[in-house]
Every structure is written in structure tokens, then in C-alpha cells.
Amino acid sequence: MRRNLTVRGETFPLATPFRISRGVKTVAEVVTVTISEGDMVGRGECVPYPRYGESVAGSVAEIEAVREAIETGVSRRGLLEILPAGAARNAVDCALWDLELRLAGSDIATALGMDRPLRPVATAMTVGLDTPDNMALAARALADVPLIKVKVDRNDPVAQLRAVRAFAPAPRLIVDPNESWTIAEVEAMQGLAAELRIDLLEQPLPAYEDAELNGFRSVIPIAADESIHVAADLDGLPDGYSVVNIKLDKAGGLTAALALAEAARARGLGIMTGCMICSSLSIAPAWAIAADSVFVDLDGPLWLSADRDGGVTGDHGYLLPARPGFWGGV
């Protein structure tokens, strides 16, 4: 039976601005894909990221270019051959997962041998980049959550981090400079990282300066984010990284993300699951990676003024699964 594809851009306003070293977001811009076969409909979502040269219009065009293959039944494995890793492939891959599971009368937990029902996960709650005083206020509101992610830049990370830790002494901390530091700054922050009990430093250097982490032994784990997209990237990853941040939008879907997770674990690397600022339709598929990750950073939908009906919800730093049937089969 021939399938029917629809693809469109959507915008979700944020409740508050989201600031990182590269800029400020006030809306989440996503691409939504639906693939139907008979009465069954599968859905997927992606967040095109300008850091990788992506846009909503560009991702829609990528998908439209392979419409015939999708509508005539390309498999998820076949999709890997006709679309590159990235946001566009992610939306289609996740829609195919959803459709396949619904056609089979199954669900993602059964297909992947996950716990049923899906368990809540502790997710990083983000303190966005701001003045130290404002970051302290944000941290105080999160003082009882299990994990905080702190966005910093080069301007005054010491003051920013001290402010957060002073008002949130208990949570584990992830520090994310979003590629804005130098290797000298990473070295200079080692003592503070130990003092403030920071648990993870995420992608401190620009990806093109990764080689400077070869042979570097940090006092805390360093996670690769922009430096790792798919399993093939592991061969060139510097040994200064001990954790990889898997995002479905980078990997190009759940199919490739699962392969990356398996290959990373085989090399002894820890797994982090991340996301863009998105709706719950991006988060539900990522649960398959998050359920067995050392660090989870899936608070993207919690920044929205309004999410999709039936999506994930937050509860004091824990993310509760979407309503059964929201995504991933029956």
C-alpha cells in the first residue's frame, strides 16, 4: 500500500528566552513529518540547527526531494542511504518508527526490550547564560532538582558557576560552554571543577579544535557534543572525551542513534542523551537512548509556553513519559 507523506514547519513560543554562548532563542522552530499507511499514522519531529547549516526551509526541501521513496515504502535502513545524518532524516526516521510499530500493534518499549511502563528519568534542568546574579536566582529555583546544566561563555564563567553552586549546593552539575572555551581555559578551570563538584564538562572547545584534547586528562569527565554525530565519528574522537552526547537531530534519527550508542558503549564511553529546544514529539523517541544513559538532558519541551497534547511533563527535575500512544506505537 502506498504511503502518504506530509511535512511542515511549526513554531512553538518559549515561556522565557533561552540563552547560550551562540545567541538567544524565543521560539522553537521545528519540522513535523507524518507518514500514513491506510488508517495508521506515524509522526516525527526535528529541529534544524543553524550551527550545522540547517534551516526549516532547507530540511523541508531535503525531505520533499525523497518524497517518492518515502511514499513507495523506503525502509528505515534504506533511509540511511538516501538522506544524510541530520535533522531532516531524524523527522522521517522517527515517523517511520512510529508507523511501523502501530502497523505491528506494538510499542517502542516492547520492540527494544525496555521497561514497561516507561520510567521517569532525571533530566538536566538548564540555567541559561545570564549575569551571575540572574543565574543565581535561576539556580535557587532549581535547588531541589537532581541535575542542573549551566550554560556559560568566556566572559566570567567562574562567577557564573560560583553563583549557581552557592544557591544550588546539592544537584549534580553539567557545565556547557557550547564550544566557546580554549584549551588554556579548560586547564585553568580544573581546580574550580573539583571545588564546585562539577560532574561533567560538555564540549568546551570548538569541534575543529578537538585535537587539543588528545592526551588531556581532566579531573572531571568531558562530553563530546558538536564533535560527535554518528557512529563513524568515533574513530576520530580525541581520547580526552569520555562521554558522548547523543542527539537524534545530529545522528539523523533513532535508528542511527541506537547504532551510535551501541558503538560508544563498546569503546567504554559513557552515554549522555541530549536534545534541542523542541516539543515532546522530539523527546519521546529519545527516551530509548535516555533510559540507559549516565546523563540525560531532555528538558527542551519544558521551555515551551505550550507543548503538544499528551506530551512529556516535568516534576521537580524528573521527566515523566508522554501519554501511551503519543509516539512509538499503540
Candidates 25, 149, 151, 250; catalytic one: 151
> Is 149 a catalytic site residue?
no
- Is 247 a catalytic site residue? yes
Residue 169 neighbours by CB under 8 Å, 6+ apart: 143
Whether the CB-CB separation of 93 and 286 falls below 8 Å is answered with no
The shares of helix, strand and coil residues in the chain, as percent rounded to the nearest 5, are 40, 25, 35
Taking the C-alpha atoms of residue 59 and residue 83, their distance in angstroms, rounded to an integer, is 11
Residues in Cβ contact with 166 at an 8 Å cutoff, skipping those fewer than 6 apart:
136, 139
Question: Choosing from 25, 149, 247, 250, which is the catalytic residue?
Answer: 247
> Treating both helix axes as pointing N-terminal to C-terminal, what angle do 87-104 and 280-290 enclose, rounded to 10 degrees?
80
- Which residues, including other chains, have CB under 8 Å from residue 141's CB and lie 6 or more apart? none
Cell (9 digits) for 262: 551501541
H helices of 127-238, where?
A: 132-141, 157-167, 183-188, 190-195
Could you list the active site residues?
Answer: 151, 247
